[in-house]
Chains A and B, each alone.
Chain A
Amino acid sequence: MLRNHFKIAWRNLVKNKGLSIINIIGLALGMAVVILIGLWINDEVTYNQNHENYDRIAHVLLNRTANGETRTRTPIPFPLGEEIRKKYGDSFDYVVMSSFHGDNILSIDNKSLSMYGGFMEPDALRMLSLKMMYGDWGGLKKPNSVVISQSTAKAFFDDINPIGKFIKVNNLLNVVVTGVYQDIPFNARFHGLEFIAPWELYVTSHDWVRYARDNNLWDNNSYQLFVQIADGTDMTLVNAKIKDAIYNNLPDYSRSHPELVLHPMKDWHLRSNWKNGVNIGGFIQYVWLFGVIGLFVLLLACINFMNLSTAQSEKRAKEVGVLKSIGSSKRQLINQFLSESFLVVVLAFILAVNLVFLAIPAFNQLADKQIIFPYKNMLFWLINVGFILVTSIIAGSYPAFYLSSFRPVKVLKGTFKAGKMAMTFRKTLVIVQFTVSVILVIGTIVVKKQIDHSKNRPIGYEKNRLVMIEKVTEDYEGKYNTLRSELLNSGAIAEMSESSSPLTDVWSSGGGFEWEGKDPNFLTNIVTVCVSHDYGNTVGWDLVEGRDFSRTFSTDSTAFILNEAAVKYMGIKNPIGKTIRWNNQEHQVIGVVKNILAESPFEPVKQAVYMIKYNNTNWIELKLNPYKSANESLAAVKTVFNKYIPNVPFEYQFVGDAFAKKFVAEERIRKLSTVFTFFAIFISCLGLFGLTSFIVEQRTKEIGIRKVVGASVFTLWKLLSKDFIMLIALAIIIAVPLAYYGATHWLNNYEYRTEISWKVFAISGIGAVAMTLLTVSLQAIKIARANPIKSLKIE
């Protein structure tokens, strides 16, 4: 019997080749999208799960309050690690102080490479359960040791066992390799960590860190702290216990009230946003969003399948009538139709798996992932078997029950007509599909507009031909003037400067500013940037008032240049010549510049002061010679750098590239939503196509009659399209307020945001109508051109 079912099912598929292909492709696309989204979600939620104790590891963050607003930040003070170990040690397995990770220069003999890494306390290896290839988790116990990743080991020592070899860190510290760990997987916070050096080494080799240790500096936040809570303890309770660990040591800080927050490792990736000291989620919202979209796409695809198969109901009705009259039971008929849908779903699944397999590289690029098709994973296939069964039941049940319930006599006499219900059902479906599509289209346009809007925002400096170089080691110290004059002489650059923060970030900010007319209760927090005299000329900032720093005024060593935001923040009128007190020193304001956009392009620029300070700079900025090619200039710059700083590999980045990275997350959302929108539109059109074929089939006779009594092809096309336009208009009317609400909600994430203009809705609406006409016309024109005697003959 079953074999017979499949035989008939197969013949039916082959007989209606066109429809079967559309059906299978539609369903396969839906399934492929769902599988891809499933793999993506799996990747997102398994972030950091490579660490065995990932549910007990936490990052210790610090909440501080100023002027009624609480901010959550990563840096914590030096003595905190020891304090927690001493006073709350029972609650923790490991307490690991760490430096901020960044690029450092590692070298052997004559090879030196820039490597991403940092300094951590010895328990780090055990806490992160790194998979050691050589050495063990005790590798960081000796202060002059280093543990390196597999790829670092390969870069320096090829495939030989590097244990016991010497490496120089930042051209200063000679350390011995005591361990090699396997590279940390891509979907982990610590991915790309190329070496870990002992914390002890960090302390002894950096004066300012040593100073912090020796003077027990509780109010200097420059380090990170990772912990693993003890087995059987509760993260919330432990958090409550330690939350005042800093405040207890800084009783004077009652106004900013420092409070510790444990950020569990499982939340690092998906819940990383904080507002007023409370976690408010983060990327998880997109995981949910895309999850829902995925399910929706599948549902739409399934419903389309039902639609297309019931659209054929009148043709199939005769078969049902014959089968029933020769004694088939309703049950057998249901089985027949379910077998048919099962066959289609299996074919679609095979196609979908192939599509996914082909699409994964592109998808990985799009979503910045390293997802591998899990063909070896039994669970994956098991889930898919379930997936096939569920899909074939969802997709097949309606046609099965609908078709099998036909009354044979009625059907055979030819008086059968699909009911009004079926029609309403289909129409509702098309409305739903188009509503979703229009919402997605509007959403995608809004995301694009928001990105463009922020990209076109004034940034306060000229990023063209601007290059920045991080001074990763001490080798750069004291060489500013030599480098600058040599580079200027070579003609490679137009100007050079140094600064404490990169142009695309803020590295330090602080309080303690006083000025005339300031409310004494106001807690200040202002970005501070130390620069060389030539900073303004190099980056091309825009002076609004006053003058730039100048070597001709020796008093400029204590002068301030404010940005416009700072003038507004301080509420000073006519700021030039005014005095600001900071760190027990008087600073005269000599100039005001337009805001330089350093942090998020979606937020207002923070108040900032610029001051001259040559011994506290971390970055070099170079304005390349505009009359030479960038490559030529960079080659010349490299020669000069290699001459004066021979021990550090010359690495640079264009400020423009660094700036563009600020849009990576939004760009990714835009690309993903573009892809999903495309699928939604495609599937909606398929749904529409299904409805059209159904309606056209129902109206074949009517159209024949109309043609015989004189209707032209154009009139018939209009007649058929009109109804659909009404449906789509309805979908647009439903979609617009929903999309407006959603887009406004999304834009509220950003302080600096675009306006939603009516044009967005108009464009989406017109697009939807055009797609509709195109889809409907495919069939409408065909039927309108058909010879009426054919449609009238079939009785």
Chain B
Amino acid sequence: MLLQIKDLFKWVNSGGNRIFLLNDIELTVNEGDFISIMGPSGSGKTTLLNVIGMLDDFNEGEYSFLHEPVHKLKEKHRANLYKEYIGFVFQSYHLIDELTVYENIETPLLYKNYKSSERKSLVADMLDRFNIVGKKDLFPTQLSGGQQQIVGIARALISNPKLILADEPTGNLNSKQGEEIMNLFKQLNDEGVTIIQVTHSEKNATYGSRIINLLDGRIINTV
């Protein structure tokens, strides 16, 4: 078991009313799962993903990640936890425009104090694995959307995470590029990486082993 969420609530107060962003979430994720979170706009998909990624907090409930009780951890400890085990992939890639492909992929390693030689070999592996060695000195704006997302995934994978969280990874891509990215995810999943993705697309959802449908912050069913 990778993570487990029990009785989780998240809300905001607006004009005396309590609006639930996440309402009584129960979720268990095992290593090797490929989960797709679906639901209409505003149903809480991204919020749930951010909570799982420890980027956002919650008001009530329990969340344990690798048997560590996340809700009891201090900020710093929590940051160390997600730095170590979680990689993020975004709809709009979120690459740093001022850095080259190589440097973008290298960044997480810098923050984990890897030695220069280690960084070199790890980044080289990654470039090789995604066939982008020739593009390593280009800047993100010089790449197509699909290529940028590949760099984004490479960056997420560089520190060898157990879990990849992807927020509509194909949302800004055309269908062909989208398919490539989904195949890549499938392949990664086969290699043992746990993946949770948020998606609008029924087709993309089928790549996963499990689909969670959200409505108004509540899990309505799991397929």
Residue ranges of A at the interface with B (Cβ–Cβ < 8 Å)? 701-702, 704-706, 708-712, 715, 787-789, 792, 795
User: Are B111 and A795 in touch, CB under 8 angstroms?
Assistant: no
The complex places the Cα of A34 from the Cα of B56 at a distance, in Å, of 50
User: Are A792 and B90 in touch, CB under 8 angstroms?
Assistant: yes
Distance in Å: Cβ of A707 to nearest Cβ of chain B: 9
- Does B108 interact with chain A (Cβ within 8 Å)? yes
> Which residues on A sit within 8 Å (CB–CB) of B94?
701, 704-705, 708, 792
- List B residues 72-123 near A (Cβ within 8 Å): 79, 83, 88, 90, 92, 94-98, 107-108, 111-112
> Which residues on A sit within 8 Å (CB–CB) of B108?
709-710
Query: What are the interface flags for B50-77 relative to A under an 8 Å C-beta threshold, 1 for contact and 0 otherwise?
Result: 1000011000000000000000000000
The complex places the Cα of A787 from the Cα of B53 at a distance, in Å, of 12
Supply 5 further A-B pairs (C-beta < 8 A) apart from A706-B111, A715-B111, A789-B56: A705-B95, A709-B88, A710-B108, A712-B111, A789-B55
> Which residues on A sit within 8 Å (CB–CB) of B97?
702
User: Are A711 and B96 in touch, CB under 8 angstroms?
Assistant: no
Of B56, B79, B94, B111, most A-chain CB atoms within 10 Å: B94
- Does B155 interact with chain A (Cβ within 8 Å)? yes
> Which residues on A sit within 8 Å (CB–CB) of B107?
706, 709, 711
B82 nearest CB neighbor, chain A only: A710
Distance in Å: Cβ of B106 to nearest Cβ of chain A: 10
Of A709, A712, A789, A795, most B-chain CB atoms within 10 Å: A709
Distance in Å: Cβ of A747 to nearest Cβ of chain B: 47
B94 nearest CB neighbor, chain A only: A705
User: Are B56 and A705 in touch, CB under 8 angstroms?
Assistant: no
A709 and B55 contact, Cβ closer than 8 Å, known pairs A702-B96, A704-B94, A792-B90: no
> Which residues on B sit within 8 Å (CB–CB) of A702?
96-98
- List B residues 167-206 near A (Cβ within 8 Å): none
- List B residues 31-52 near A (Cβ within 8 Å): 50
> Which residues on B sit within 8 Å (CB–CB) of A710?
79, 83, 108, 111-112, 159
Q: B55, B92, B98, B159: which contacts A708 (Cβ < 8 A)?
A: B55
User: Are A708 and B56 in touch, CB under 8 angstroms?
Assistant: no
Residue ranges of B at the interface with A (Cβ–Cβ < 8 Å)? 50, 55-56, 79, 83, 88, 90, 92, 94-98, 107-108, 111-112, 155, 159
> Which residues on A sit within 8 Å (CB–CB) of B98?
702
> Which residues on B sit within 8 Å (CB–CB) of A709?
88, 107-108, 111, 155
Distance in Å: Cβ of A708 to nearest Cβ of chain B: 5
The complex places the Cα of A788 from the Cα of B75 at a distance, in Å, of 14
Number of A-B contacts (CB under 8 A): 39
> Which residues on B sit within 8 Å (CB–CB) of A789?
50, 55-56
Question: Can you name 13 A-B pairs with beta carbons within 8 Å?
Answer: A701-B94, A702-B98, A705-B94, A710-B111, A710-B112, A710-B159, A711-B107, A711-B111, A715-B111, A788-B55, A789-B50, A789-B56, A795-B92
> Which residues on A sit within 8 Å (CB–CB) of B96?
702, 705-706
The complex places the Cα of A704 from the Cα of B107 at a distance, in Å, of 13
The complex places the Cα of A723 from the Cα of B81 at a distance, in Å, of 30
B90 nearest CB neighbor, chain A only: A792
Distance in Å: Cβ of A243 to nearest Cβ of chain B: 73
A708 and B111 contact, Cβ closer than 8 Å, known pairs A787-B56, A789-B55: no
User: Are A712 and B79 in touch, CB under 8 angstroms?
Assistant: yes
B155 nearest CB neighbor, chain A only: A709
The complex places the Cα of A654 from the Cα of B209 at a distance, in Å, of 98
Of B56, B111, B159, most A-chain CB atoms within 10 Å: B111
The complex places the Cα of A706 from the Cα of B106 at a distance, in Å, of 11
A702 nearest CB neighbor, chain B only: B96
> Which residues on A sit within 8 Å (CB–CB) of B92?
795
> Which residues on A sit within 8 Å (CB–CB) of B79?
710, 712
> Which residues on B sit within 8 Å (CB–CB) of A792?
90, 94
Distance in Å: Cβ of A781 to nearest Cβ of chain B: 14
The complex places the Cα of A710 from the Cα of B90 at a distance, in Å, of 15
Distance in Å: Cβ of B85 to nearest Cβ of chain A: 11
Distance in Å: Cβ of B75 to nearest Cβ of chain A: 9
User: Are B88 and A708 in touch, CB under 8 angstroms?
Assistant: yes
> Which residues on B sit within 8 Å (CB–CB) of A711?
107, 111
A706 nearest CB neighbor, chain B only: B107
Distance in Å: Cβ of A633 to nearest Cβ of chain B: 70
Distance in Å: Cβ of A77 to nearest Cβ of chain B: 81
The complex places the Cα of A701 from the Cα of B94 at a distance, in Å, of 8
Distance in Å: Cβ of B96 to nearest Cβ of chain A: 5
The complex places the Cα of A702 from the Cα of B104 at a distance, in Å, of 11
Closest CB pairs A-B (n = 7): A710-B111, A710-B83, A709-B108, A705-B94, A789-B55, A711-B111, A702-B96
> Which residues on B sit within 8 Å (CB–CB) of A788?
55
The complex places the Cα of A37 from the Cα of B97 at a distance, in Å, of 47
The complex places the Cα of A712 from the Cα of B155 at a distance, in Å, of 17
The complex places the Cα of A715 from the Cα of B111 at a distance, in Å, of 8
The complex places the Cα of A795 from the Cα of B50 at a distance, in Å, of 17
B156 nearest CB neighbor, chain A only: A709
The complex places the Cα of A346 from the Cα of B70 at a distance, in Å, of 54
> Which residues on B sit within 8 Å (CB–CB) of A715?
111
The complex places the Cα of A191 from the Cα of B143 at a distance, in Å, of 80
The complex places the Cα of A712 from the Cα of B77 at a distance, in Å, of 12
The complex places the Cα of A788 from the Cα of B82 at a distance, in Å, of 14
The complex places the Cα of A704 from the Cα of B96 at a distance, in Å, of 10
The complex places the Cα of A788 from the Cα of B90 at a distance, in Å, of 13
Distance in Å: Cβ of A709 to nearest Cβ of chain B: 4
> Which residues on A sit within 8 Å (CB–CB) of B159?
710
The complex places the Cα of A705 from the Cα of B92 at a distance, in Å, of 11
Distance in Å: Cβ of B218 to nearest Cβ of chain A: 21
> Which residues on B sit within 8 Å (CB–CB) of A795?
92
B105 nearest CB neighbor, chain A only: A709
> Which residues on B sit within 8 Å (CB–CB) of A701?
94
Distance in Å: Cβ of B131 to nearest Cβ of chain A: 22
B111 nearest CB neighbor, chain A only: A710
> Which residues on A sit within 8 Å (CB–CB) of B111?
706, 709-712, 715
B57 nearest CB neighbor, chain A only: A787
Distance in Å: Cβ of A13 to nearest Cβ of chain B: 27
The complex places the Cα of A29 from the Cα of B155 at a distance, in Å, of 49
> Which residues on A sit within 8 Å (CB–CB) of B55?
708, 787-789
Distance in Å: Cβ of B164 to nearest Cβ of chain A: 13
The complex places the Cα of A58 from the Cα of B20 at a distance, in Å, of 89
Distance in Å: Cβ of A663 to nearest Cβ of chain B: 55
Distance in Å: Cβ of B123 to nearest Cβ of chain A: 13
Distance in Å: Cβ of B158 to nearest Cβ of chain A: 9
The complex places the Cα of A112 from the Cα of B182 at a distance, in Å, of 107
The complex places the Cα of A787 from the Cα of B79 at a distance, in Å, of 12
> Which residues on A sit within 8 Å (CB–CB) of B88?
708-709
> Which residues on A sit within 8 Å (CB–CB) of B155?
709
Distance in Å: Cβ of B197 to nearest Cβ of chain A: 16
A417 nearest CB neighbor, chain B only: B97
Distance in Å: Cβ of A157 to nearest Cβ of chain B: 80
B47 nearest CB neighbor, chain A only: A789
B98 nearest CB neighbor, chain A only: A702
The complex places the Cα of A686 from the Cα of B98 at a distance, in Å, of 27
The complex places the Cα of A710 from the Cα of B83 at a distance, in Å, of 5
The complex places the Cα of A481 from the Cα of B112 at a distance, in Å, of 91
The complex places the Cα of A711 from the Cα of B106 at a distance, in Å, of 12
Distance in Å: Cβ of A465 to nearest Cβ of chain B: 65
B91 nearest CB neighbor, chain A only: A795
Distance in Å: Cβ of A460 to nearest Cβ of chain B: 66
> Which residues on B sit within 8 Å (CB–CB) of A706?
96, 107, 111
Distance in Å: Cβ of A766 to nearest Cβ of chain B: 29
A709 nearest CB neighbor, chain B only: B108
> Which residues on B sit within 8 Å (CB–CB) of A704?
94
A705 nearest CB neighbor, chain B only: B94
The complex places the Cα of A709 from the Cα of B88 at a distance, in Å, of 8
The complex places the Cα of A127 from the Cα of B112 at a distance, in Å, of 86
The complex places the Cα of A11 from the Cα of B6 at a distance, in Å, of 46
The complex places the Cα of A788 from the Cα of B167 at a distance, in Å, of 14
> Which residues on B sit within 8 Å (CB–CB) of A787?
55-56
B49 nearest CB neighbor, chain A only: A789
Distance in Å: Cβ of B73 to nearest Cβ of chain A: 16
The complex places the Cα of A705 from the Cα of B94 at a distance, in Å, of 6
